[in-house]
Amino acid sequence: MLDTIEKVINKISMPSKDFLDIRYAYAMGESFTVRNGRFDSVSNQTTGGVAIRALIDNAWGFTTIVTIDEESILKAAEKAIRIAKIGSKFAKQERKIKDDWVFEGKGMTKLEIDPREIDKKTKFEKIIQTEKAAREFSDRIAETSSTYQETHSKECVINSKGTKVENENHVVRIMKNVIAREGTEMQSVFDSIGGTGGWELIQKWEPEKEGLEAAGMALKLLSARKPPSGRMNVIMDPSLTGVFVHEAFGHACEADAVIAKQSVLENRINKRVGVEEINVYDDPTLPGLRGSFDYDSEGTKARKRVLVEKGILKEYFHTLETATALDMEPNGSGRAMNFNFTPLARMGNTYVDSGDKSLEEIAELTKEGVYLKNSYGGYVMPAKGQFYFSCQLGYFIEDGEITDMIGNVGMSGMTLEVFQNTYAVGKKWAPEFLGTCGKQGQGIPVTAGGPDIGVSGIVIGGSQ
């Protein structure tokens, strides 16, 4: 496919001030779900096509096609150029891509055991046993489900500046979801493992243990105390720290949001955004995590990004366009969900680095408040710097001790206040938030994490 694309690129004459890239993306995936003892969904998905992007005189034109012969790609490229030229008549801001950044190479996820070689019945067994163990735990368990997913994708991209890159990626995941119900009270427990790699990542999932643990926790939550309401000290566990650093802080570090003046971190490079103990990184080169990759969808080599060092903001997430606009270096953050979308500045594996406090020490410093765990996800308004996350469970902290359990609750805060109001950072970070990050209609796999951190002034939305 790379040859076909190269032939097309070579047939199009582009002035050096302009830019054209052609990306072929193909993905095949399987997804199986067992719910309440029945197979709820057993499916196989294939997507494939070619994306063509042209930047002409400050405006982008973008087209996609699912026919992949040379003539069709050439016609689509001409169309992308044509609509970019129309856009350029209305564009007011300068937009270009530097000639300096040319990448060549081939990236591939390390696969120890190719999941495509694993019998479907073996995959089925993992989710059947997980779901069954949870379902049979108690008659107060209302709904149980377990899902297995694998995706195998190939991408190759060539651009008019000379970049020529191929990428192959494999992502697997197994999940469990249990809902316990008593009258009108319901509590859910969700968890998953997985990442880039093969069946070896799924092998460590012990179905019965996983099912029983989820069911047991869901039942405990039914009799948990009602969550409190108001502004208080909060300890966020590695999952919640992860969702904060991704949703609230990470999205604000995306350079397209900065350029669009929709980020509270605009003009804050080399300025203090947190206390001295805060260090934040994003590293797609960490092996095996959901947000791991070698090259992004623009063909840029991925590398570790140092977002915050000792509380000082150091770096944004860049595409080729944003790096040019802000006169910075691209860092391999241009990710696209599939051929039907353009690459955007995105995260990979984002985390707060470890500090020096044990959980007990953080609780002691907290005195009164809550310890919240396991996020369902959340959303953020980057321009305003306000975030919201939903947590599966938590505990009261009373007189410096972690005490009674509380059920699911939401939390809200201001992005720029959290790292400034951090009073303790835990000893060991963990990549505990496995998510699918959404931006402009594109969902991409990511991981986020951190240690337990203690933060003052978070608003908790309980009902009492």
In the region spanning residues 154 to 173, those forming contacts with another protein, defined by CB under 8 A, are none
Residue pair 72/79 in contact by the 8 Å Cβ criterion: no
Q: Which residue of 72, 285, 354, 412 would you call a contact of another protein, by CB under 8 A? A: 412
Query: Which residue type is seen at 118?
Result: I
SS3 445: strand
- Residue count (the chain): 464
Contact range with another protein by CB under 8 A, out of 16-24, 204-212, 276-284, 388-396? 388-396
Residue 1, interface with another protein (CB under 8 A)?
no
**Two tokens, residue 44:** 């196989």
Residue 462, interface with another protein (CB under 8 A)?
yes
Angle, helices 70-88/2-11, rounded to nearest 10 degrees? 50
For residue 46, give every residue at least 6 positions away whose Cβ sits within 8 Å of its Cβ, in sequence order, or none: 26, 27, 28, 29
Residue 95, interface with another protein (CB under 8 A)?
yes
Query: Cα–Cα distance between 273 and 262 in angstroms, integer?
Result: 17
Helix segments in 136-206, DSSP class H: 200-203
Residue 102, interface with another protein (CB under 8 A)?
no
Residue 90, interface with another protein (CB under 8 A)?
yes
Site for another protein in 268-327 (CB under 8 A): none
Provide long-range contacts, Cβ within 8 A and 24+ apart, for 322-325.
322/255, 322/256, 322/258, 322/259, 323/98, 323/101, 323/255, 324/96, 324/97, 324/98, 325/94, 325/95, 325/255, 325/259
Site for another protein in 426-455 (CB under 8 A): 440
Site for another protein in 114-133 (CB under 8 A): 120-121, 124
Q: How far apart are CB 451 and another protein at their closest, in Å?
A: 24
Residue 93, interface with another protein (CB under 8 A)?
yes
Q: How far apart are CB 416 and another protein at their closest, in Å?
A: 9
Q: Which residue of 392, 421, 442, 447 would you call a contact of another protein, by CB under 8 A? A: 392
Q: Which residue of 77, 87, 161, 219 would you call a contact of another protein, by CB under 8 A? A: 87
Q: Which residue of 15, 16, 38, 117 would you call a contact of another protein, by CB under 8 A? A: 38
Q: Which residue of 10, 17, 70, 86 would you call a contact of another protein, by CB under 8 A? A: 86
Q: Which helix (H) or strand (E) holds 253?
A: none
Residue pair 54/74 in contact by the 8 Å Cβ criterion: no
Contact range with another protein by CB under 8 A, out of 16-24, 63-71, 192-200, 327-335? 63-71
Site for another protein in 174-203 (CB under 8 A): 179, 181, 184-188
Q: Which residue of 107, 216, 400, 461 would you call a contact of another protein, by CB under 8 A? A: 461
